[in-house]
Amino acid sequence: MKSDNVKKGMQQAPHRSLFNALGFTEEEMNKPMIGIVSSYNEIVPGHMNLDKIVAAVKQGVAEAGGVPVVFPAIAVCDGIAMGHIGMKYSLVTRDLIADSTECMALAHQFDALVMVPNCDKNVPGLLMAAARINVPTVFVSGGPMLAGHVKGKKRSLSSMFEAVGSYSAGTMTEEDVKEYEAKVCPTCGSCSGMYTANSMNCLTEALGMGLGGNGTIPAVYSERIKLAKRAGYAVMDMLKKDIKPRDIMTKEAIINALTVDMALGCSTNSMLHLPAIAHEIGFDFDIAYANEISEKTPNLCHLAPAGPTYMEDLNEAGGVYAVMKQLLDAGLLNGDCMTVTGKTVKENVANARNLDPEVIRPMDNPYSTTGGLAVLKGNLAPDGSVVKRSAVVPEMMVHEGPARVFDCEEDAIDAIKSGKIVAGDVVVIRYEGPKGGPGMREMLNPTSAIAGMGLGSTVALITDGRFSGASRGASIGHVSPEAAIGGPIALVHEGDTIAIDIPNMKLELKVSDEELAKRKAEWTPREPKVTTGYLARYEKMVTSGNRGAILELK
């Protein structure tokens, strides 16, 4: 056992004295030591129930013959961090989580791990760590929140942000906003639509790193506790069979995950996280793969914010496995990939069924014949940009309009809420990329303001920052190269015409090459916005969004 490095032999007598201080018995010293990576905290609604999940995992591990040992991982609530300096500290935590978990696991020589994440960067950060550490590892999340109910309709966090925009537009009263505030987030769990947290938790199933139901069983269901116990059993079985994350997270598994992503209509943030996870296994993931996969993968689900269904509905309809079974039967998934169950993808989904063809459309009646995401390129984004096309209204799939240029999110929000943005405009928010932010803030406030002002079907938003999974509309992010390193988005002038053609994957600035070259020659880099602390170090090492905002030594 790996843990023998700290438990066996005369040289390890000092180590054993410290285990004695921890209260370890002699019997426990002879059993596998299983690290339980707990993301529990009391500030993230998706994490407030993780103490119960961790307790159930510990019980499962102990029943299966292991010694569970808990250590922590941090997590930021993107909703609470939204719209202020806190959002600079969201994406950057992904790498802190990966780094700190790697340190803890290898310093203490755990034999296996169970990762207990839930929200946003927490899941990909721990997937990255799992690939690095490469001991048997299972993921079990805290589960999604139930949808809220306002005036007889299901609602979620994105509805809340849009309600603020509607209030600014004068179409909603303060009392209406207060009702939304009280009702849209009714339980613990990751927010109830197909936002980033739920996207990544669903993709743990597609990758083979989570058990069936991990992405969809609601946080408040007792079935989630049972799943956590089974995760404890599963990791002990993996240890016996010597199945490790790099046996599971292969290039083929990453492509499977991207395919499922397209069918589910996941958050654009998956196009930051899948490349970063791929990087950890040595797979150079080009985001243009998205278009290749999208062309042959239909979009089968329209969960909030793209449509009126929620994670609880997907769970009742058969969950991620039901989607995967349809894709597998159509020849779109690699069924031979290994998973944490010790079985292949094909074996795992063999008995899955679609129980609600309105929530999970059958292959012959998709929402669209192409997938939920698209990568757009052109002279405005030579290295690519990302749009959740399943959340774009038909009339905005092709759009041309004047650029309204802002060098930070706050200035754009002020313009939107004061009525300065009108139908047909293309809002450009730049210097918000991984380096420029630094930290690549999510633009949920401006997209929600656009929707709330009634402009969602007439105004586009383009940024080198990124979007929350709760964003909808013609929201094009990850524009690369970013403005901070002199990408073309830095060269856009107020009033320039921008052409968006999502069906043909094009994003063009209607300015001549000669004029762009002239502007480039006149452009000067800006001083970093942050010069001390973690963000300053992050800014020095981070790549543009098209590469997953990974950290590299220059």
**Residues involved in catalysis:** 468
Q: Are 94 and 276 in contact (CB under 8 A)?
A: yes
DSSP state of 401: E
What does residue 153 show for φ and ψ, rounded to 5 degrees? -120, 145
Q: Beta strands 426-429 and 398-406: pairing type? A: parallel
> Which residues, 6 or more positions from 512, have their beta carbon under 8 angstroms from its beta carbon?
none
How far is the C-alpha of 254 from the C-alpha of 251, rounded, in Å? 5
Listed residue (124, 137, 130, 119) closest to 48, CA to CA? 119
Handedness of CA 442, 446, 447, 452 (dihedral sign): positive
How far is the C-alpha of 142 from the C-alpha of 42, rounded, in Å? 13
Listed residue (286, 507, 309) closest to 389, CA to CA? 507
What does residue 315 show for φ and ψ, rounded to 5 degrees? -60, -45
The conformational region for residue 538 under phi > 0 = left, psi -120 to 50 = alpha, else beta, is alpha
Listed residue (208, 227, 145, 187) closest to 470, CA to CA? 145
> Which residues, 6 or more positions from 537, have their beta carbon under 8 angstroms from its beta carbon?
none
Q: Measured at the alpha carbon of residue 260, what is the angle toward residues 387 and 366, in degrees to the nearest 5? A: 75
Q: Specify the long-range contacts of residues 526-533, CB closer than 8 Å, at least 24 apart.
A: 526/431, 526/436, 526/484, 528/438, 529/436, 529/437, 529/438, 530/88, 530/438
Q: Are 436 and 489 in contact (CB under 8 A)?
A: no
DSSP state of 303: B
- SS3 state of residue 167: helix
| Cis amide leading into 438 (omega within 30) | yes
> Which residues, 6 or more positions from 91, have their beta carbon under 8 angstroms from its beta carbon?
121, 272, 434, 439, 440, 466, 549
Q: Measured at the alpha carbon of residue 220, what is the angle toward residues 215 and 225, in degrees to the nearest 5? A: 70
- SS3 state of residue 39: coil
Q: Where are the alpha helices (DSSP H) in 281-331?
A: 289-296, 311-316, 319-329
Q: Are 352 and 322 in contact (CB under 8 A)?
A: yes
How far is the C-alpha of 450 from the C-alpha of 456, rounded, in Å? 6
